[in-house]
Chains A and B, each alone.
Chain A
């Protein structure tokens, strides 16, 4: 019984992590209709920024996390203004080719600057280890991930649904021409959204170093997971990817625990079954745009 709950806990933490990493992609793909395969590169950038600050310059871990967000967002906005915006109107194939190229460049650049070996972020002692709660093993670090990611999700959903910026964004996505006719500065809204998505990826990268490992091949290794989250969740809202992340996280952990021989296939099997059942994802719009 307790091992079921421990697995559930691990699965939720893993799912939350996937969500923070992938939700920026859901935003760019779903809201802005832009295929950004370089998404993992922003996550990696955040992870490395956090690593350098904590390990080399002695910053406390919790001070470095916001900076991971800020620096990835800054890189995001710089690239959006200089490169990405020229590709919004281009075909998806152009976008894929461009961003996959960017991914390879980021891999090579980080390999050159930081070397190819895997790095870890030195955690404060308070975040290490596990404690027992009614016999359930709770990892401190994983608990922190659940708290941070849970708060972020609630915040994001509030911003999108309740604020003026959220409605502008939704308007800009639904019909950019009408929105700009109404005086909404569409490129600015997109740039801001893009940067925010990149920032979230950066935060996710910093958080995931401990669990997934951080090396220059991060963007390529985890691209597939981000894409699974977005395709399964559907990309029209953020609740879709959120529930999809949780489902995949729990499914992956449970699959590896109970049927270790089949473990690696569980996540893909789930994706296939869900996509056969609902081709637009769990919460996708029924009519493809």
Chain B
């Protein structure tokens, strides 16, 4: 079921079906979900987490919904939009999938958008976090988060909690700019001041000079957004340069302290305050069970990408239940709108207007528990909508 090589067999099958000019009878009772994920390349941990979460969900809930058997086809796009597009085409044309899902980065999600519109099949975005994504096709539904959600909240929180001067360090690409702009808007509206603004190149070997600049600007805190993976480097150099001792705090959207990497960052990261949608330390019973099951199956802690994948497949299951197994794409998207459920991250729902996710955003602080580092939630902003839509 979970074969990456499925593609060639499916293609052969499709070819035979075409030859004999008989619609494949089997397609009647299977629902195919094409997952396009970065399984290799710098974003591979995102792909792996989502794939793991989907496996886990299907183990727990079974692979049959509304009388249909669910079949997952995973394709690797290495987070390169050209490959995403090719993969989406193959999945839609050859494999005749009923859903496409995944999408590790914003450009990948955007590349598949016109195809989803044309083929009229739902595109479930389970990772990418720029606000505009859901506006690019009426078939896009998102179960991850938007950077506007976490960045506006941390901006509001910072001004209310004695942080007056902030220096920002963000990666120079769409999500980084989203994070920066939404943070700035809310932070300055509340009376805060941005004293220094640095955008780092996406492929950045050494943070030293940027951090020195931050240190010399003497802010109360640094607002940071760097893509998953670079967070560790950033935190290490932050400590090396003694910014922690100079009393400069780190705040930001939660990507910098992703559960996936948090434990490797060392004690320098203690006390970092971030706003985010999920922490493996979320105290609900459902999350405890989820974390335990995930750890048991894969040996690592789930991060927010895993939860987004878990919710993504859940949404697909629920939509199929609601349409009674009808695989018409338009009906499925309708069925997804307004869905409400309890996720390991807390209560979430799909906004019927924007097809984007509405969820709680938590303010968390990195603390040590049982010798491991966790993001411990201490304040909740309930049911946050995406504030970053261009069409208000």
Q: Are A225 and B232 in contact (CB under 8 A)?
A: no
| A192 at interface, CB cutoff 8 A | no
Q: Are A116 and B241 in contact (CB under 8 A)?
A: no
Cα-based distance from A87 to B241 in the complex (angstroms): 46
| A253 at interface, CB cutoff 8 A | yes
Q: Are B233 and A118 in contact (CB under 8 A)?
A: yes
Interface residues of A, count at CB 8 A: 38
Q: Are A117 and B216 in contact (CB under 8 A)?
A: no
Q: Are A118 and B216 in contact (CB under 8 A)?
A: no
| A212 at interface, CB cutoff 8 A | yes
Partner of A111 from B40, B204, B213 at Cβ < 8 Å: B40
* Known pairs A128-B239, A215-B229; A261 contacts B199 (CB<8 A): yes
Contact with B along A238-253 (1 / 0, CB 8 A): 0000000000000011
Q: Are A139 and B240 in contact (CB under 8 A)?
A: yes
Q: Which residue of B lies closest to A128 (CB)?
A: B240
* Known pairs A117-B229, A118-B232; A254 contacts B209 (CB<8 A): yes
Partner of A118 from B204, B206, B213, B229 at Cβ < 8 Å: B229
Q: Are A130 and B232 in contact (CB under 8 A)?
A: no
Q: Are B209 and A256 in contact (CB under 8 A)?
A: yes
Cα-based distance from A212 to B210 in the complex (angstroms): 14
| B134 at interface, CB cutoff 8 A | no
Partner of B206 from A14, A117, A119, A254 at Cβ < 8 Å: A14
| A177 at interface, CB cutoff 8 A | no
Partner of B240 from A3, A14, A130, A222 at Cβ < 8 Å: A130
Q: Are B242 and A137 in contact (CB under 8 A)?
A: yes
Q: Which residue of B lies closest to A257 (CB)?
A: B209
Q: Which residues of A are found within 8 Å of B216, using beta-carbon distances? A: 3
Q: Which listed segment binds A: B41-49, B56-64, B141-149, B308-316?
A: B41-49
Q: Which residues of B are found within 8 Å of A115, using beta-carbon distances? A: 45
Q: Are B201 and A14 in contact (CB under 8 A)?
A: no
Partner of B45 from A7, A117, A120, A255 at Cβ < 8 Å: A117
Q: Are B44 and A116 in contact (CB under 8 A)?
A: yes
Q: Which residues of B are found within 8 Å of A135, using beta-carbon distances? A: none
Q: Which residues of A are found within 8 Å of B40, using beta-carbon distances? A: 108, 111, 116
| A217 at interface, CB cutoff 8 A | yes
Q: How far is the CB of B159 from chain A (nearest CB, A)?
A: 25
Contact with A along B170-214 (1 / 0, CB 8 A): 000000000000000000000000000011110111101110110
Q: How far is the CB of B19 from chain A (nearest CB, A)?
A: 36
Q: Are A260 and B198 in contact (CB under 8 A)?
A: yes
| B8 at interface, CB cutoff 8 A | no
Q: Which residues of B are found within 8 Å of A212, using beta-carbon distances? A: 205-206, 233
Tell me which residues from 242 to 299 in chain B have a Cβ below 8 Å from any Cβ of chain A.
242, 260-261, 264-266
| A61 at interface, CB cutoff 8 A | no
Cα-based distance from A210 to B207 in the complex (angstroms): 11
Q: Are B233 and A139 in contact (CB under 8 A)?
A: no
Q: How far is the CB of A278 from chain B (nearest CB, A)?
A: 25
| B69 at interface, CB cutoff 8 A | no
| A84 at interface, CB cutoff 8 A | no
| A66 at interface, CB cutoff 8 A | no
Q: Are B210 and A256 in contact (CB under 8 A)?
A: yes
| B236 at interface, CB cutoff 8 A | yes
Q: Which residues of B are found within 8 Å of A256, using beta-carbon distances? A: 209-210, 213
| B230 at interface, CB cutoff 8 A | yes
Q: Are A141 and B205 in contact (CB under 8 A)?
A: no
Tell me which residues from 204 to 237 in chain A have a Cβ below 8 Å from any Cβ of chain B.
210-213, 215, 217, 221-222, 225
* Known pairs A117-B45, A117-B260, A137-B242; A10 contacts B233 (CB<8 A): no
Q: Are A120 and B210 in contact (CB under 8 A)?
A: no
Q: Are B212 and A10 in contact (CB under 8 A)?
A: yes
Q: Which residues of A are found within 8 Å of B264, using beta-carbon distances? A: 118-120
Q: Which residues of B are found within 8 Å of A215, using beta-carbon distances? A: 42, 229
Q: How far is the CB of A63 from chain B (nearest CB, A)?
A: 21
Partner of B44 from A10, A111, A139 at Cβ < 8 Å: A111
Cα-based distance from A221 to B230 in the complex (angstroms): 13
| A279 at interface, CB cutoff 8 A | no
Contact with B along A126-149 (1 / 0, CB 8 A): 001110000001010100000000
* Known pairs A117-B229, A217-B42, A257-B213; A129 contacts B242 (CB<8 A): yes
Partner of A120 from B203, B204, B209, B232 at Cβ < 8 Å: B232
Cα-based distance from A214 to B213 in the complex (angstroms): 24
Q: How far is the CB of A2 from chain B (nearest CB, A)?
A: 9
Q: Which residues of A are found within 8 Å of B41, using beta-carbon distances? A: 116, 217
Q: How far is the CB of A43 from chain B (nearest CB, A)?
A: 13
Q: Are A210 and B229 in contact (CB under 8 A)?
A: no
Q: Which residues of B are found within 8 Å of A263, using beta-carbon distances? A: 200-201, 209-210
Q: How far is the CB of B352 from chain A (nearest CB, A)?
A: 37
Q: Are A141 and B240 in contact (CB under 8 A)?
A: yes
| A6 at interface, CB cutoff 8 A | yes
Q: Which residues of B are found within 8 Å of A260, using beta-carbon distances? A: 198-199, 209-210, 213
Q: Are A257 and B205 in contact (CB under 8 A)?
A: no
Q: Are A225 and B206 in contact (CB under 8 A)?
A: no
Q: Which residue of A lies closest to B46 (CB)?
A: A116
Cα-based distance from A264 to B200 in the complex (angstroms): 8
* Known pairs A128-B239, A130-B240, A213-B232; A116 contacts B45 (CB<8 A): yes
Cα-based distance from A225 to B216 in the complex (angstroms): 28
Cα-based distance from A175 to B199 in the complex (angstroms): 51
Cα-based distance from A263 to B216 in the complex (angstroms): 17
Known: A130-B241, A215-B42, A253-B206. 8 other contacts (CB 8 A): A108-B40, A117-B44, A130-B242, A211-B208, A225-B205, A252-B209, A257-B212, A257-B213
What 6 A-B pairs come out closest when comparing CB atoms? A116-B44, A256-B209, A264-B201, A257-B209, A253-B209, A10-B208
Q: Can you name 30 A-B residue pairings with CB atoms under 8 Å?
A: A7-B209, A10-B212, A14-B206, A116-B40, A116-B42, A116-B45, A117-B44, A117-B45, A118-B229, A118-B232, A118-B264, A119-B264, A128-B240, A130-B242, A137-B241, A139-B241, A210-B236, A212-B206, A213-B230, A215-B229, A225-B205, A253-B206, A253-B208, A254-B209, A256-B209, A257-B210, A260-B199, A263-B200, A263-B209, A264-B201
